[in-house]
Chains A and B, each alone.
Chain A
Amino acid sequence: MGAVTTIQTAFNLVSPLIPKYVIAIVVRDMVLLELSPTIIAIIFAGKVGSNIAGELGTMRITEQIDALEVMGLNSSSYLVLPKVLATVFMFPALVVTSAFLCILGGYLAVSFTDVITPAEYTQGIRYQLNEFMVIFAMIKAVTFAFLVSTISSFMGYYTKGGALEVGKASTSAVTNSVIAILLADYLLAQLLAEYLISF
């Protein structure tokens, strides 16, 4: 993503009035504010969300959840809570890794092409970094992780029927999670953009 963004931005910012390092600033801001949290959250919903819904749905239709209830366990907290906590704690780490790799990807792209020099890219990446962007990315990460895990758990936990319904629950988990991610992305942008400017 970082490499593609760098190349695409370089092709579009051709004015001699704009310093070359601005390309790296654009890449950095896009990666931190949007690409890493949002795109990775959508991929996360597809991979982990469908997995959670499928697992819980299968447990429901094979009566494993009933077995937990009969033993006196609160099945929803036993099964859902660890998933929510794990995603909320680990997804930010995934976003940080993704952001690092994106920026590294951009660096590799400029190293192998002549769109800008690696020195200009490094300068742009370090130029006037607003630390709130990282906080913003983490807020997004935690929100998206919470949405994906809770929506997917809900879809899986309340599955009724058989194997067909487990498949449907997985699909619903992914589609609903993606819609929720995009809505939350917009709301967070509205709520936090002001802080980003004033930070």
Chain B
Amino acid sequence: MIELNNIQKSFGEVTILKGINATFKPGLVNMIIGASGTGKSVLLKCMVGLEQPTVGSVMYNQRDFSHSTRKEQIDIRKDIGMLFQGAALFDSKTVEENVRFPLDILTNQPLDEKLDKVNQVLDRVGLTNTNGKMPSELSGGMKKRVGIARAIVNNSKYLFCDEPNSGLDPQTSITIDNLIKEITQEYNITTIVVSHDMNSVMEIGDYIMFMHQGLKLWEGSSDEILDSEVDEFNDFVFANNLMRSLKKLRK
């Protein structure tokens, strides 16, 4: 479980996050949504330690991540896997080396065991026999799947996904969404997805948190979205025809 306690983040005079409180539970796909520039990615970076919150704390299973020592942070980070927007695969390494990388640096397992684990997760994300390929030889969707494989190879307890569908066609987006959902339930991971894709939100979101100008304005499940009475949230959600049609149908 991850808890955010009054997270505030400023860059100089500009305040991006204005006191976010939230709880993300294991086994659920927790989605952070909002328009561009609302602070979703900054919040995600604060959660994984790429940015330090100005005020507040991020708790991983009651352990304060934001105010811990580097050694303690490294210990917590062993349980964190992250899928970046562009997958962030290491260009100079093959698919196998990319996926094996967290095992190489975080464990002392023998090579055979590592390779077994790598093949197991590659198989799980549907990329069997791609071990020797370089990232430049992969499509966008394949890169994302390798990114997911790398994020879960070390039996991570927390999976962070920064806009996993960006740059993907609708069909591949659904594949990636489903993969994230299945993996979350299968491994009982606490998954946090930053997105502004409403299809994904409706498809896989168990808990949804809406951000607007650095504030959390709404939270709930995907079933509750259509009944929301927060104007900013409705403006965001019903900007697309599909969602408007859905609401009309509901009425």
Contacts of B89 in A (CB 8 A): 64
Whether the Cβ atoms of A67 and B78 lie closer than 8 Å is: no
Number of A interface residues at 8 Å Cβ cutoff, please give it.
12
Contacts of B49 in A (CB 8 A): 69-70
A73: interface (CB < 8 Å)? yes
Whether the Cβ atoms of A70 and B91 lie closer than 8 Å is: no
Q: How far is the CA of A72 from the CA of B154 in the complex (A)?
A: 13
Q: How far is the CA of A70 from the CA of B102 in the complex (A)?
A: 10
For the residues of A in contact with B, the DSSP-based class is helix
> Knowing A66-B84, A67-B84, A67-B88 touch, does A73 contact B105 (C-beta < 8 A)?
yes
A58: interface (CB < 8 Å)? yes
Whether the Cβ atoms of B86 and A72 lie closer than 8 Å is: no
B101: interface (CB < 8 Å)? yes
Whether the Cβ atoms of A67 and B82 lie closer than 8 Å is: yes
Q: How far is the CA of A70 from the CA of B192 in the complex (A)?
A: 15
> Knowing A58-B91, A66-B50 touch, does A71 contact B86 (C-beta < 8 A)?
no
B77: interface (CB < 8 Å)? yes
B106: interface (CB < 8 Å)? yes
Q: How far is the CA of A70 from the CA of B49 in the complex (A)?
A: 7
Q: How far is the CB of A78 from chain B (nearest CB, A)?
A: 9
> Knowing A71-B77, A72-B77 touch, does A64 contact B88 (C-beta < 8 A)?
yes
Residue of B nearest to A61 (CB): B86
Whether the Cβ atoms of B82 and A62 lie closer than 8 Å is: no
Pick the residue among B85, B91, B105, B160 that contacts A71 (CB under 8 A): B105
Contacts of A69 in B (CB 8 A): 49-50
Q: How far is the CA of A67 from the CA of B85 in the complex (A)?
A: 11
How many of chain B's residues touch chain A, expressed as a range? 20 to 34
Pick the residue among A59, A63, A66, A71 that contacts B102 (CB under 8 A): A71
Whether the Cβ atoms of A71 and B106 lie closer than 8 Å is: yes
Contacts of B77 in A (CB 8 A): 70-72
Whether the Cβ atoms of B50 and A70 lie closer than 8 Å is: yes
A100-136 to B contact mask, C-beta < 8 Å, 1/0: 0000000000000000000000000000000000000
> Knowing A71-B77, A72-B74 touch, does A63 contact B86 (C-beta < 8 A)?
yes
Of B88, B89, B101, most A-chain CB atoms within 10 Å: B88
B48: interface (CB < 8 Å)? yes
Whether the Cβ atoms of A63 and B84 lie closer than 8 Å is: yes
Residue of A nearest to B45 (CB): A66
Contacts of A63 in B (CB 8 A): 84-86, 88
Contacts of B91 in A (CB 8 A): 58-59, 62, 64
Whether the Cβ atoms of A72 and B106 lie closer than 8 Å is: yes
> Knowing A58-B91, A64-B90, A64-B91 touch, does A70 contact B80 (C-beta < 8 A)?
yes
Q: How far is the CB of B76 from chain A (nearest CB, A)?
A: 8
Whether the Cβ atoms of A66 and B74 lie closer than 8 Å is: no
Pick the residue among B73, B74, B80, B86 that contacts A62 (CB under 8 A): B86
Contacts of B74 in A (CB 8 A): 72
Q: How far is the CB of B50 from chain A (nearest CB, A)?
A: 6
Contacts of B84 in A (CB 8 A): 63, 66-67
Residues of A within 8 A of B (CB): 58-59, 62-64, 66-67, 69-73
Q: What would 26 A/B residue contacts be, using CB atoms closer than 8 Å?
A: A62-B88, A62-B91, A63-B86, A64-B88, A64-B89, A64-B90, A64-B91, A66-B50, A66-B84, A66-B88, A67-B84, A67-B90, A69-B49, A70-B48, A70-B50, A70-B77, A70-B80, A70-B82, A70-B160, A71-B77, A71-B101, A71-B105, A71-B106, A72-B73, A72-B105, A72-B106
Given A63-B86, A64-B91, A73-B105, 16 more pairs with CB closer than 8 A: A59-B91, A62-B88, A63-B84, A63-B88, A64-B90, A67-B82, A69-B49, A69-B50, A70-B48, A70-B160, A71-B77, A71-B102, A72-B74, A72-B77, A72-B78, A72-B106
Residues of B within 8 A of A (CB): 48-50, 73-74, 77-78, 80, 82, 84-86, 88-91, 101-102, 105-106, 160
